[in-house]
């Protein structure tokens, strides 16, 4: 099986035994506490679940600037996006101290992790602007990822972490949330060698379904990992529980049994386009996947990125940066001639009028107006799940 990123084995930061957890919670009651941002909490879940191997905690300023500028840590390890604990709260602790990190997404003082504070550093506005510009390709605060980064604060708390739980993800999504360790173990137990990962923050429509099928056939995959984001999204995106139900419905009716693994991960969407596509590749490699599908406007938002920027960035990184292979998907559309979804560059005999262009945005628009989705957009069983959500909403 493919090795994890930068390591021979996964390096999850989750505390494994109840005894150690109880001991740390007792110690935490005497520690100074800070309520982290949702973005930092999501980073903790990913660190705990092994997805961010080989990182052991939050980046300091040197690593953060190096990642923003050159997509690597100061030690040379490839890494495409910041993994930080930024705050705008008053800091009443010192470097070298251990502090308790409180989960912002659960009621009460639920302790999510213990952090050893290596450094407390300030970022000035120029440094923050530079980091955002490099990572997101824009400083425009109408970009949801940019706005989130600006709102986090300017005090950077770096250091290693010990994660105590997986926040609301293992409670709200107990059938879907899986750690990188669990996914890797499932792949191994199935005896799969070639595994194609499909990233989604949306319900899967006909185009997504066919894309998985095409990628699986072309790389001779033993199985497909449908891996959905379960964290925070921008307003208007379809909630995780509805997506989960729609995806399970589609797989049940339209894929062979035991060919698709449906899982989710606890992270907030960055909408960072090309940089986030690279991050998606890192943690799918950590899951044990051999391939990741990167399609049109992967992890993008609005008009901030070109349609295939997220594919092109993989040609700009060092060849040894990642072990996982990328399946580059073209525009997909429904062919009226062939009565099926195709990749447009595969059918050179088609004219523009031979296609029905598929779009998640268009689907959401139709659903919000109470319009029935045509068969070219969505399977009837999936359309029913989505329509129910919009009607009840």
How far is it, in rounded angstroms, from Cα 128 to Cα 147? 12
pLDDT of residue 360: 65
Out of 13, 162, 184, 201, the active site residue is 201
Decide if 5 is inside a domain. Answer: no
Q: What is the mean pLDDT of residues 250-271?
A: 95
pLDDT of residue 359: 66
Same domain, residue pair 269 and 188: yes
Instruction: Please give the tally of structural domains in the chain.
Output: 2
pLDDT of residue 356: 81
Decide if 13 is inside a domain. Answer: no
Same domain, residue pair 244 and 351: yes
Same domain, residue pair 116 and 194: no
> Does 162 participate in catalysis according to the annotation?
no
Among residues 141, 170, 199, which one ends one of the domains? 170
Q: What is the mean pLDDT of residues 305-319?
A: 95
Same domain, residue pair 160 and 182: no
Among residues 128, 144, 170, which one ends one of the domains? 170
H or E segment to which residue 325 belongs: strand 325-328
Taking only the tens place, the pLDDT of each residue in 168-191 is 999 999 999 999 999 999 999 999
Indicate which CATH number applies to the domain containing 35: 3.10.400.10
How far is it, in rounded angstroms, from Cα 31 to Cα 33? 6
Decide if 93 is inside a domain. Answer: yes
pLDDT of residue 284: 98
Same domain, residue pair 210 and 356: yes
H or E segment to which residue 207 belongs: helix 206-218
> Does 202 participate in catalysis according to the annotation?
yes
Taking only the tens place, the pLDDT of each residue in 205-239 is 888 898 999 999 999 999 999 999 999 877 777 88
pLDDT of residue 393: 62
On the 0-12 / 13-18 / 19+ scale of CB atoms within 10 A, 251 is: buried
Out of 202, 213, 286, 296, the active site residue is 202
Indicate which CATH number applies to the domain containing 182: 3.40.50.620
Q: What is the mean pLDDT of residues 349-360?
A: 79
Decide if 2 is inside a domain. Answer: no
Taking only the tens place, the pLDDT of each residue in 101-156 is 999 999 988 999 999 999 999 999 999 999 999 999 999 999 999 999 999 999 99
Same domain, residue pair 355 and 386: yes
How far is it, in rounded angstroms, from Cα 227 to Cα 302? 23
Decide if 265 is inside a domain. Answer: yes
Same domain, residue pair 190 and 165: no
Tell me how crowded residue 188 is: count the other CB atoms within 10 A of its CB: 11
Mean pLDDT, rounded, of the chain = 93
Whether residue 54 has a cis bond before it, omega within 30° of 0 = yes
How far is it, in rounded angstroms, from Cα 299 to Cα 307? 11
47 pLDDT exceeds 70? yes
Same domain, residue pair 346 and 368: yes
Among residues 170, 189, 214, which one ends one of the domains? 170
- DSSP class of 72: B
pLDDT of residue 352: 83
Strand order in the sheet with 332-335: 340-343, 332-335, 355-357
Same domain, residue pair 211 and 267: yes
Label the pairing between strands 195-200 and 291-294.
Answer: parallel
Decide if 8 is inside a domain. Answer: no
Same domain, residue pair 252 and 131: no
Same domain, residue pair 180 and 165: no
Scanning the structure block, which residue is given the tokens 């191994």? 188
Decide if 186 is inside a domain. Answer: yes
Q: Which domain holds residue 339?
A: 175-392
Phi, psi of 195 (to 5 degrees): -130, 125
What percent of the chain has pLDDT above 70?
99
Q: Are 42 and 19 in contact (CB under 8 A)?
A: no
Decide if 10 is inside a domain. Answer: no
Same domain, residue pair 352 and 222: yes
């Amino acid at each position: 099986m493919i090795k994890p990123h930068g390591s021979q084995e996964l390096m999850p930061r989750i505390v494994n035994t109840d005894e150690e957890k109880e001991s740390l919670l007792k110690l935490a009651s005497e520690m100074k506490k800070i309520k982290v941002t949702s973005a930092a909490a999501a980073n903790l879940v990913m660190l705990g679940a092994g997805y961010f191997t080989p990182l052991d905690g939050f980046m300091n300023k040197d690593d953060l600037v190096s990642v923003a500028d050159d997509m690597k840590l100061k030690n040379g390890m490839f890494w495409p996006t910041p993994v930080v604990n930024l705050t705008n709260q008053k800091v009443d602790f010192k470097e070298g101290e251990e502090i308790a990190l409180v989960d912002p997404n659960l009621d009460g003082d639920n302790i999510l992790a213990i952090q050893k504070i290596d450094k407390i550093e300030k970022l000035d506005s120029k440094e923050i602007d530079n980091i955002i510009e490099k990572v997101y390709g824009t400083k425009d605060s109408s970009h949801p990822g940019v706005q989130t980064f600006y709102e986090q604060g300017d005090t950077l708390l770096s250091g290693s972490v010990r994660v105590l739980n997986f926040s609301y993800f293992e409670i709200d999504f107990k059938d879907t949330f899986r750690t990188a360790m669990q996914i890797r173990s499932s792949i191994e137990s199935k005896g799969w060698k070639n595994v194609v990962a499909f990233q989604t923050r949306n319900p899967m429509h006909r185009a997504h379904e066919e894309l998985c099928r095409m990628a699986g056939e072309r790389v001779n995959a033993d199985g497909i990992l449908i891996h959905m984001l379960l964290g925070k999204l921008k307003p208007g995106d379809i909630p995780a529980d509805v997506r989960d139900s729609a995806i399970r419905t589609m797989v049940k009716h339209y894929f062979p049994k035991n060919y698709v693994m449906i899982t989710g991960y606890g992270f907030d969407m960055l909408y960072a386009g090309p940089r986030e596509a690279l991050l998606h590749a890192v943690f799918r490699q950590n899951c044990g996947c051999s391939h990741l599908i990167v399609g049109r406007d992967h992890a993008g938002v609005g008009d901030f990125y070109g349609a295939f920027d997220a594919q092109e960035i993989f040609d700009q990184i060092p060849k040894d940066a990642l072990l996982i292979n990328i399946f580059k998907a073209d525009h997909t559309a429904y062919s009226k001639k062939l009565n099926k979804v195709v990749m447009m560059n595969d059918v050179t005999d088609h004219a523009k009028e031979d296609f029905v262009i598929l779009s998640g945005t268009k689907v959401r628009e139709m659903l919000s107006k109470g319009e029935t989705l045509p068969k070219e957009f969505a399977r009837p069983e999936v359309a029913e799940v989505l329509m129910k959500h919009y009607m009840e909403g």
